[in-house]
Structure 1
Amino acid sequence: MNWAVVTLTKGGTQQAKKVKRLLGDISLDIYTLEKWADEETIVINKNLDEFIGSIFYSYDIILFIMATGIVVRSIAKYIVDKTTDPGILVMDEKGQFIISLLSGHLGGANKASKLLADKIGGQPVITTASDVNGLIAVDTLAEELECCISSMDNAKKVTALIVNNEPVRIESDINIDIKLPDNIVTEGEAKGTIYITNKLLNINHMYQVQLIPKNIIIGIGCRAGTSSKAIINAIDEALRSLNIDCRSILHFATVDVKQNETGIFEAAEHYKTIVKIVGREEIKAIESKFQCSEFVRKAIGVGAVCEPCAKLTATKGHFLMRKKSYGGITLSIWEEV
């Protein structure tokens, strides 16, 4: 997570440097006016509104050390959606109050406010109803469980039920290790439902929402020059056969000789995921456990790719699909548990 701190005064600049020291390993840039700038800061060389626009989507958290009114006027034109906006914090020059102003849940501003308040000895100011009432919003639950949300509109409606102390049932395929409020139940009647699963669901009720865990690893092997379209078609077919939602993909995994295989990386971009590269020496240590191909071994030095690569980049879980060929592409699918 990367932060920016924006301030316009001498006192604010001094406080920004203190924040940077206290947050330690967090990547943090300090922006201030030229007259307060030094080697630890970056000069604001535009009017404030224009400057904010130039950095708004470059940081996860933006902390403003200035009056809240200035911040509201400066960021208003750049606010788009809670799923994409950065977390916005506002703090006074003394570090007494750290206000979570925007994107408290998905943007992480509430959590950042509490973190900074704890480090600096200030008071976090959080106004989201679920937090102040000791409840939990659907988007917060999704963040805690590292899940995607099927519908933000439905998530808002289900959160409204939770905040108003209406019973909401939760049905989960994964373990939930966080404390849930009393009105989120696992059985009995409820006015809304939260489904937590990587399966494809057809949700057509406004008070139902699906949280999709990122727990699917795709092991991939392919011929040189295989197109991204072919890889995407193969993955789509494989996932459909298992009734798995593609938004549950955690990462791709492939062998080091494929680290420049354009088709694999373009397919990863399509699914908004990353590619993990596994060395052949690592594969050799476990390849005897998998179906091997002598043709592949002669070509790249190991006899198996998609299965060992998936397993070696996983933590705990099992194969949902062992090695399967799709016309020059081999896939395996691993589910983390």
Structure 2
Amino acid sequence: MSKAIITLTRGGFDLGKRLQQMLNDSTLYVNGKFDVKGPGIQKIEKNITAFVGEIFNQYECLIFIMATGIVVRAIAPYIQDKKIDPAVIVLDEKGKNVISLLSGHLGGANEYAFAISELLGANPVITTASDVNQSIAVDTLAMTLHCAIEDYSDATRVTAHIVNGELVGIRSDIPIFFHLPENIDILDENEFENEKYKGMIYITERQVKKDPDKDQVILRPKNIVLGIGCRKGKSKDEILKAIHATLKNLNIDPIAIKHMATIDVKQDEPGMIDAAKTLNVPLVIISSENISAVEKEFDRSEFVKKAIGVGAVCEPAAMLSCKNGTWLQRKTAYDGITIALMREGEFEYGNHCSRNKL
């Protein structure tokens, strides 16, 4: 986790140096007027706002040791969206208070603030409503469960119901192993969504038909793995057409795709690379040697074996890149493209949530 510690005064430098020694992967930025040197120490040679613009998107967490007003003015021109902005923390020179200023949930600023406070024996200052009320926000729930939020405006509305103490229901296709506030019910498949629920959270890779008259949000587990093989020269559009046909047939939303996987022989195929970029997912490459070791478990093609050295691609690529997977679709051909699909399983949803970000 890359962190920048930014100071302007001598008192700030003393605390910053102390904090740098406690934090992994951190760089300490100091006023250029100070005659200080050392590993991981760099000087600020321009005004603070211009400097912040240079580093704002280079670090996962920016830790300022200075007045909050200075920080607010310095970061204001560069704030874009809570989905991409870094965590921003503010400390006073004496290290008495640690303020979570920006990206408290998705950026992890609240967790950073708690962790730094524990290191310094300081007071964490958290102002997000869900944390103050010992509740949970939808974006925190999504982050804990490794899910993507389909619509952030939906998430805001449902979070408001949770924070206000109103009853919210959850339908989830994945297990939830951690404690939820008392006003959140996990519904089983036989329970009816009645009017007592002011909001609903759906956690599923499947398509959901939403009720426009209710506050509902959909969280997508990133648990779908696509194994893909193709003839040389297949275009991005052809590959995407085959992928979308597969997903439509299985009633799966594209947001749920964790990655695409293929054999190393196909790693330079422009169509494969561009399709992964369009879907905004990694393209995982499996070596020919690893596929050769397991190909006997799958339906093989002698034509493919003569062409690339192995007789199966999409199924072994999916299986070898998927942890504890379940088959949702075995090898299916789409005009020179083969696709197999697995759902990753046995993930410890929620068990990773902790304050050890440092």
Smaller-chain TM-score range?
A: over 0.9
Q: Please state how far the C-alpha of 1:138 moved relative to its aligned partner.
A: 0.5
Q: Please state how far the C-alpha of 1:206 moved relative to its aligned partner.
A: 4.7
Q: Give SS of 1:233's match.
A: helix
* Partner residue of 1:195 out of 202, 209, 215: 202
Aligned residue in 2 for 1:285: 293
Distance 1:44 1:263, change over 3 A: farther
Q: Report the Cα distance in structure 2 between the residues aligned to 1:240 and 1:170, rounded to whole angstroms.
A: 24
Aligned residue in 1 for 2:243: 235
CA contact (8 A) 2:198 2:214 kept: no
Q: Report the Cα distance in structure 2 between the residues aligned to 1:115 and 1:193, rounded to whole angstroms.
A: 32
Trace 1:148-163 onto structure 2 (pairs within 5 A): 148-163=148-163
CA contact (8 A) 1:218 1:331 kept: yes
Distance 1:225 1:20, change over 3 A: farther
- Residue type at the aligned position of 2:141: L
Aligned residue in 2 for 1:32: 30
Distance 1:5 1:261, change over 3 A: farther
**Cα deviations across residues 38-62 of structure 1 (Å, max 9, x unaligned)?**
3422232322112212222222211
Q: Report the Cα distance in structure 1 between the residues aligned to 2:207 and 2:238, rounded to whole angstroms.
A: 22
Q: Give SS of 1:29's match.
A: strand
Distance 1:22 1:205, change over 3 A: farther
Q: Report the Cα distance in structure 2 between the residues aligned to 1:176 and 1:213, rounded to whole angstroms.
A: 12
Q: Please state how far the C-alpha of 1:106 moved relative to its aligned partner.
A: 1.2
Could you tell me which runs of 5 or more consecutive residues in structure 2 were left unpaired when the two chains were aligned: 188-193, 346-358
TM-score (normalised: structure 1): 0.94
Trace 1:1-337 onto structure 2 (pairs within 5 A): 1-24=1-24, 27-36=25-34, 37-39=36-38, 40-187=40-187, 189-203=196-210, 204-337=212-345
Q: Report the Cα distance in structure 1 between the residues aligned to 2:299 and 2:45, rounded to whole angstroms.
A: 61
CA contact (8 A) 2:222 2:258 kept: yes
**Cα deviations across residues 269-304 of structure 1 (Å, max 9, x unaligned)?**
111111111112211222111111112212222111
Distance 1:304 1:129, change over 3 A: same
Q: Give SS of 2:33's match.
A: helix
Q: Please state how far the C-alpha of 1:223 moved relative to its aligned partner.
A: 2.0
Q: Report the Cα distance in structure 2 between the residues aligned to 1:11 and 1:310, rounded to whole angstroms.
A: 55
Distance 1:14 1:251, change over 3 A: farther
**Count of residues in Structure 1 that have an aligned counterpart in Structure 2:** 335
CA contact (8 A) 1:154 1:206 kept: no
Distance 1:186 1:133, change over 3 A: same
Q: Please state how far the C-alpha of 1:114 moved relative to its aligned partner.
A: 1.5
Q: Report the Cα distance in structure 2 between the residues aligned to 1:265 and 1:19, rounded to whole angstroms.
A: 42
- Residue type at the aligned position of 1:200: Q
CA contact (8 A) 1:22 1:120 kept: no
- Residue type at the aligned position of 1:264: M
- Residue type at the aligned position of 1:99: I
Q: Quote the sequence identity (%).
A: 49
Q: Please state how far the C-alpha of 1:98 moved relative to its aligned partner.
A: 1.4
Aligned residue in 1 for 2:354: none
Higher relative contact order (Cα pairs below 8 Å, separated by 6+ residues): 2
Q: Aligned-residue CA RMSD in angstroms? A: 1.7
**Which of 234-243 and 114-123 deviates more?**
114-123
Q: Give SS of 1:304's match.
A: coil
- Residue type at the aligned position of 1:35: K
Could you tell me which runs of 5 or more consecutive residues in structure 1 were left unpaired when the two chains were aligned: none
Q: Report the Cα distance in structure 1 between the residues aligned to 2:276 and 2:197, rounded to whole angstroms.
A: 39
CA contact (8 A) 1:23 1:119 kept: no
**Which of 76-85 and 194-203 deviates more?**
76-85
Q: Report the Cα distance in structure 1 between the residues aligned to 2:56 and 2:83, rounded to whole angstroms.
A: 14
**Cα deviations across residues 300-323 of structure 1 (Å, max 9, x unaligned)?**
221111111111111112111111
Q: Please state how far the C-alpha of 1:212 moved relative to its aligned partner.
A: 0.7
Distance 1:302 1:106, change over 3 A: same
Q: Report the Cα distance in structure 1 between the residues aligned to 2:213 and 2:273, rounded to whole angstroms.
A: 36
Q: Report the Cα distance in structure 1 between the residues aligned to 2:267 and 2:60, rounded to whole angstroms.
A: 28
CA contact (8 A) 2:224 2:341 kept: yes
Aligned residue in 1 for 2:191: none
Q: Give SS of 1:35's match.
A: coil
Distance 1:259 1:70, change over 3 A: same
